[in-house]
Chain A
Amino acid sequence: MKRLSYLLLPLVLFLGIAVFLFQGLFSDPRERESTALERPFPEFSLPDLMDETSQYDNSVFDGQLTLINVWGVWCVTCAIELPYLESLRNQGYRIVGLYYDQDLDPNYGTKTIQRVRQEVKQTLGKYGDPYQFNIFDVYRDTALDLGVTGAPETFLVDQNGVIRVHHLGDINERVWQNKFLPIINTIKAATSQDSEEEREVESL
C-alpha cells in the first residue's frame, strides 16, 4: 500500500502541474479587477471638446444610464469601435466621449486645440459619430482618477452616477452581449421595480 502511493506520487505531481499550466494558457495577465467599480464617478469639471465655454460636471449622469467612452483620434482601436458604438446610439443608448489627446502634452510635442478639433471632426465623419457630446479631459486627471490605463476604455454609469461596468479594450457585439447587457438589464429591472413601488405608495 505504501509502495503504491510512492508510485503514484510522480503522476499526481505531474497532473497537478499540468492542470496549473493548462489554466495559464487561458489566463490574461493584463486582466485585473477594476477599483472604479461600484464607486461614484470621480468628481470632475471639464470643458466641452468643441466649445471650451461650456462646462460639464457630475450632473451629466443625473437620471439616465450613460456610457462613458474614453478615446482619442490617435488611438486606432477607438476608430474601429466607432461604427459599433454608433449602432448602439441608434438603439437609443446615451454615449458620452471622454476625450484626451497625447499631443497636447508637452512631453510629446505641441498641437493646437483647433487642430485637435479638426481631426476629431474628420475621424467622426469618416467612421461614425456615436457621441451626444465629448468631455475634454485636458490634463487627463479624470482618466487617472478612473484608473484608465489606455484607450479605448468604456464605463457604464447608472442614473445615480455610480460606475457599474469598466471595460478595457474595444466594444463589439460579443462584449456588449456578455458584459454590458446583463448589467443594463438588472439596472432597468431595479429601477422599474422602484417606480412600481412608488406608484403603489402613491395609490395607497
Chain B
Amino acid sequence: MNRIWILVFVQVMLFSSAIAQEGVSTDNAATQEDDYAENYQFDDPNQRKTFLELTAVLRCPMCQNQNIADSDAMIAHDMRRKVYQLMQEGQSKTQVIDFMKQRYGDFVYYQPPVNSVTIWLWVLPIMFAFVMLFAFILRKKKANPQNLQEKLAQADRLLKENE
C-alpha cells in the first residue's frame, strides 16, 4: 500500500512544476490585459493576445522580478515598444524572444534554457526521488523477516519468563 502512495507522490512531483508554470503566465495575462495594451493597436485580436503573452514571459532586466507587462521602468516601456515593433514587422514569438535574449541574456526570459548547468535542476530532484524510493524498498525487504523472527523469539522469552 505504502509503495503505491510513493509512486503517486513521485508522479505528482513530476507534473506539478509544469502545471504551476502555465498557471503563472495565464494569470498575468488576464489581470493586466487592459492596463497598457491600450497604447498599442492591433489589427487582429490574436496579435494582441500574442503581445500580452510575450510581455508576460519577458522579464524586466532592471527590476528584480517583474515581467515587462507589469513594470513601469523606462526599460520595460522600451521593451514593450520593441516587442510591438518586431511583431508589426511580422516576427514570430520565438524570434522576438531570441531578439531580447541576444541583448539581455537568458535572464530576460522566464523560461530558463536547458543546458549543461541548468539540467541539474530537473535531473537532481528526480534522481533524489528514485534513490529514496530504491533505498526504501531495499531496506524494507532486508529488515522485515529478520526483525520479525527476532521479535517473535523475544516475545517467546518474555512469555516464558512470566510463566
Which B-chain residue is minimally distant from A72 (CB atoms)?
Answer: B74
Residue in B64, B75, B82, B105 whose beta carbon sits within 8 Å of that of A29 in the complex: B64
Contact of A146 with B by CB under 8 A: yes
Report the bound CA distance from A30 to B63 in whole Å.
9
> How would you classify the secondary structure of chain A's contact residues: helix, strand, loop or mixed?
loop
Q: Are B107 and A32 in contact (CB under 8 A)?
A: yes
Query: What is the size, in residues, of chain A's interface with B at 8 Å between Cβ atoms?
Result: 21
Which B-chain residue is minimally distant from A107 (CB atoms)?
Answer: B77
Contact of B102 with A by CB under 8 A: yes
The digit string for A159-178, where 1 denotes a CB below 8 A from any CB of B, is: 00000000000000000000
Report the bound CA distance from A143 to B78 in whole Å.
10
Q: Do A33 and B62 form a contact, CB below 8 Å, given A105-B77, A107-B39?
A: no
Chain B residue numbers with a CB within 8 Å of A141 are: 82
Chain A residue numbers with a CB within 8 Å of B104 are: 35, 147, 149
Report the bound CA distance from A148 to B105 in whole Å.
12
Q: Are B103 and A33 in contact (CB under 8 A)?
A: no
The digit string for B57-91, where 1 denotes a CB below 8 A from any CB of A, is: 00001101000000001110111001000000000
Q: Quick one: which of B39, B74, B101, B107 has the most chain A CB within 10 A? A: B74
Chain B residue numbers with a CB within 8 Å of A145 are: 103
Which B-chain residue is minimally distant from A106 (CB atoms)?
Answer: B39
Q: Are B105 and A150 in contact (CB under 8 A)?
A: no
Report the bound CA distance from A143 to B104 in whole Å.
11
Which A-chain residue is minimally distant from B103 (CB atoms)?
Answer: A147
Q: Are A150 and B79 in contact (CB under 8 A)?
A: no
Which B-chain residue is minimally distant from A34 (CB atoms)?
Answer: B105
The digit string for B20-57, where 1 denotes a CB below 8 A from any CB of A, is: 00000000000000000001000000000000000000
Chain A residue numbers with a CB within 8 Å of B105 are: 32-35, 147
Q: Are A35 and B62 in contact (CB under 8 A)?
A: no
Which B-chain residue is minimally distant from A102 (CB atoms)?
Answer: B74
Q: Are B78 and A149 in contact (CB under 8 A)?
A: no
> How far apart are B131's CB and chain A's nearest CB, in angstroms?
17
Chain A residue numbers with a CB within 8 Å of B107 are: 32
Report the bound CA distance from A148 to B79 in whole Å.
11
Chain B residue numbers with a CB within 8 Å of A35 are: 101-105
Report the bound CA distance from A143 to B75 in whole Å.
10
Contact of A12 with B by CB under 8 A: no
Q: Quick one: which of B64, B79, B82 has the most chain A CB within 10 A? A: B82
Given A35-B103, A148-B75, A150-B73, 17 more contacts at CB 8 Å? A32-B61, A32-B105, A32-B107, A35-B101, A35-B102, A35-B105, A107-B39, A107-B77, A141-B82, A143-B78, A144-B78, A144-B82, A147-B61, A147-B103, A147-B104, A149-B104, A150-B62
List 17 interface pairs A-B (beta carbons < 8 Å), by A numbering: A30-B64, A32-B61, A32-B107, A33-B105, A34-B105, A35-B101, A35-B102, A35-B104, A35-B105, A102-B74, A105-B74, A108-B74, A144-B103, A147-B103, A147-B104, A149-B104, A150-B62
